[in-house]
Structure 1
Amino acid sequence: MGLNFKKWLLEKLGGEEQRVTSAEITGEEFFDLASDLYVREIAFWSCVNTVANAVSKCEFKTFMGKKEVREGEYYTWNMEPNRNQNASAFIHKWISKLYQDNEALVLEQNGQLLVADSFTRKAYALYDDTFTGVAVEDFTFKKTFTGSEVLYFKLSEKDMRRVTNGLYMAYQKLIDYSVRSYQKSRGSRGILDVSAMAQGSEKYEENFNKLMNEHFKNFFNSENAVLPLFEGYRYTDIGSKTYSNEGTRDIRAMIDDVSDFTAKAFGIPPALLNGTVQGTSEATDHFLTFCIDPLCRTLQEEINRKRYGYAGFKNGNYVQIDTKAIKHVDLLSVSTAIDKLIASGAFCINDIRKLTGETIIDEAWANQHFMTKNYATVADLLESLQEGGTL
């Protein structure tokens, strides 16, 4: 296999803790490392896709003069950030780069928002950071971007992917041991006795190599087979009685552990990844509260400070990432709550319809707020009592 691909694989696996160098790796080691990579990558990208799917369901609300509007900025964030991507594809790339590299860069060119595939950042304490070598797909910008010209997102001070990789390097030893134990317990084992007379034969080396490399291989790999033996050879099958009974379920449980501690690094409840139905509602609430809401706040803060600034903020111009649409709403189960929200005057009918994913009603009464007569202010109640009324 090509040296470059091996080197890439080692970089993906190792970080600061590579076990071997690209010059030392053998074919067998390569496939062992590839297996390690698959286990780790499926855990990592399952978490990334879960987060990206959640953010892509959010609505990027735009406000002008503290009033919600749906114009060009709204269309850009919710429909078409650029001519080659819709909003969902754009967000998936954006979030993927953020978690993969612990940072992401979004720039605007000719009215289009683009997620950079690679860039080099020069950080300064008192001046704008600079970004060079910014590449998007097949195009690399020759100019140097300043921090005020781009949207730069950093996930955390510590790259959690490197942390989980380090943890996985230690945990992988347990998985490897379990796999070897399972293979050993299910493999064919035996004892080959070779007499002194057979060892003294002129064709001993030829016969021995043929037996080991051809006859035994065919014998162990065939469902039904006969093992031909030379004179002076005796084979005794000892089966697998002396070996462990490690099961595939035990190995599966260890691989699930990899997903669990990767999910914890993301702030995702493991139940959302392993398919556990019980407690899903509570897990979803935890996911939204401690993973998605903080992430969306980080994203909208960078968007607002770069695209609107203090002047826009002062005038009530900003973007708000609304996460309420992430969680599926069962209308029948929340019908009582909907009634209370409308009856208390907290929300109008169109507010509720947007919360439940329904189209709004283009009528004035659908935007009015209603309140039942059961509600009253404390002042009104005191006035009623003074006039001889009752509670």
Structure 2
Amino acid sequence: MGLFDKVFRKNSAISWMYDLEYLKDTSKKSYIKQMALNTVIEFVARTIAQSEFRVMEGNKIVKDDLYYLLNVKPNPNQNAVQFWQKFIYKALIDNEVLIIQSDDDYLYVADDYEHEDELGLLPQRFKDVMINDFKYNRFFKMEDVIYIEYANQKLERFTHELFEDYGEIFGRMINLQLKNNQIRGIVNVESSFMKDKELNKELQEYMDMIFDVFNNSSTAVVPLPKGLEYQEHSSKGSSKSGESAFKEMEELRKSILIDISRIIGVPPSLILGEMADLEKAIQSYYKFCINPLVRKIQAELNGKMLYKDEYLEKEMRIKIVGIDKRDPLELAEAIDKLKSSGNYTGNEIRVMLGDEPGDDPHLEEYVLTKNYESVNDEPTEGGDNE
């Protein structure tokens, strides 16, 4: 069961219809739906949750109340990791997510709400906002909330339509396996047993006991009274055919994971735990999945959490630094070339690496340690002057 199976309620009729309409055979869709979605979406949610939400003034980190809310304790019931995991999970599942600020200045991810977006040029509003079991009886204007639209129509179409096809195939595969391994038997009973109702009842209880032993015991030995004859008619499927069937089921699960991974932008090899071309897969993951999400979140946070004069005059920004932050030791050679060519100062390089500028005045100097000079320049080295 995924971390947020009980969290989302929005679009509940759509979200749960595939689970409730097949109560007679829950294996058809609910299992395969939850397994595939939880695996891929929680992978993305964990990535974002490990990021640091920096409040920057120029190139300096400001650790104020806003920084504390975004990185430590958004509200009394959640820490920052739980908060951002829920945020990303709802963004991907519902294709949108809403954060409100309570009257005591805490941040909450809304579990349910109604979005009034047909108001012409007027600001859009949200009503009937639910936080756990608490319902707000007032409107929230768009300018007062954090609202992100994921806008991945492919994922919505896949989860709401194409799951039906995969679910039917998966359900039939399981049913076939159950039939192939089903215990089937015939009990021949003398007609004298059937005349006595009390004896007939005892006979039924006895047969139920026999089949219960056969079904639950690795070694089953039962007494067979006179007048009863038991014949086994179970399917005698070969072990090879059984292995083949389970392999096909595993391939189907893998196929669904791959499809969802590609739609969301996660390289399937990361979900499947494959180590080949791992570095390229990670770079692709950040480029096509994480970075677009980060840009949307940053733009919304900067537009809603900072005042205009803070953004323009104080150069304040909210910047998300994720786990893609590179280790300077891995880039030592490239850093040396940037510094020694005279193109960047030490502090400019520190900022590019996600660090704050240092206070040492030498870090603001341009240093040229290589002989980068024009081919038209006169040589600066030579023999003695004549």
Both proteins in one fold, TM over 0.5: yes
Secondary structure in structure 2 of the residue aligned to 1:93: helix
Determine if the alignment matches structure 1 residue 46 to structure 2 residue 39.
yes
Closer, same or farther in 2 for the Cα pair 1:383/1:74, shift >3 Å? farther
* Cα distance between partner residues in 1 of 2:44 and 2:366: 35
Q: Cα distance, 1:355 vs. partner?
A: 6.8
What is the CA–CA distance in structure 2 between the aligned matches of 1:19 and 1:87, rounded to whole Å?
A: 31
CA contact (8 A) 2:59 2:356 kept: no
TM-score for the superposition, normalised by structure 1? 0.75
- CA-based RMSD of the aligned residues comes to 4.0
Aligned to 1:4: none
2:253 maps to 1:260? no
Match of 1:37 among 30, 39, 48: 30
Structure 2: 5+ residue runs without aligned partners?
Answer: 1-7
Q: Is the 8 A contact 2:29 2:163 kept in 1?
A: no
In structure 2, the residue matched to 1:337 is: 334
Deviations 1:74-99 (A, max 9, x none): 45434454455443333223222322
What's the secondary structure of 1:132's corresponding residue?
strand
Q: Offset of 1:295 from its aligned partner?
A: 0.9
The answer as to whether partners of 1:13 and 1:165 remain within 8 angstroms in 2 is no
Deviation at 1:329, TM superposition (A): 4.3
Distance 1:255 1:137, change over 3 A: same
Gap change, CA 1:341 and 1:108, over 3 Å in 2: farther
Identity %: 26
CA distance in 1 between counterparts of 2:52 and 2:160 reads 33
1:182 pairs with 177, 180, 190, which one?
A: 177
* Alpha-carbon separation, structure 2, partners of 1:76 and 1:384: 60
Q: Does 1:382 align with 2:379?
A: no
Partner residue of 2:84 out of 79, 91, 103: 91
1:370/1:180 CA distance change after superposition, 3 Å: farther
When residues 319 and 93 of structure 1 are mapped into structure 2, their CA distance, relative to the original with a 3 A threshold, is farther
**Equivalents in 2 of 1:121, 1:12: separation in Å?**
15
- Residue 117, structure 1, aligned to residue 117, structure 2: no
Does residue 373 (structure 1) correspond to residue 373 (structure 2)? The answer is no
CA distance in 2, matches of 1:37, 1:363: 60
The equivalent residue for 2:136 is: 141
Aligned to 2:236: 241
Task: Report the Cα distance in structure 2 between the residues aligned to 1:55 and 1:368, rounded to whole angstroms.
Answer: 36
Q: d(CA) in 1 for partners of 2:79 and 2:227?
A: 74
Q: Spell out, residue by residue over 1:38-65, the C-alpha distance to the aligned partner (whole angstroms, 9 max, x if none).
A: 442233223232222222333434454x
Residue type of the alignment partner of 1:151: I
Q: Hey, what does 2:94 align to over in structure 1?
A: 101
* Residue aligning to 1:221: 216
Equivalences for 1:10-89 in 2 at 5 Å? 15=15, 18=18, 25=23, 29=24, 32-33=25-26, 36-64=29-57, 67-72=59-64, 73-82=66-75, 85-89=78-82
Distance in 2 separating the partners of 1:248 and 1:125? 55
Displacement after TM superposition at 1:131 (Å): 1.4
Q: What SS class does the counterpart of residue 304 from structure 2 fall into?
A: helix
Instruction: Give structure 1 stretches of 5+ with no counterpart.
Output: 1-7
Query: Residues of 2 paired with 1:225 and 1:206: CA distance?
Result: 23
In 1, Cα distance between the equivalents of 2:287 and 2:124?
31
Question: How far off its partner does 1:284 sit?
Answer: 1.0
Conserved 8 A contact 2:111-2:130: yes
C-alpha separation between the residues in 2 aligned to 1:118 and 1:108?
15
Alpha-carbon distance change, 366 to 76 in structure 1, aligned in 2, over 3 angstroms: farther
2:4 is aligned to none
Distance 1:38 1:342, change over 3 A: farther
Superposition map of 1:285-364 within 5 A: 285-308=283-306, 314-315=312-313, 317-323=315-321, 325-327=322-324, 329=326, 333-345=330-342, 348-349=345-346, 363-364=360-361
Q: SS of the counterpart of 1:245?
A: helix
SS state at 1:133 partner:
strand
Structure 1 position 229, deviation (Å): 4.0
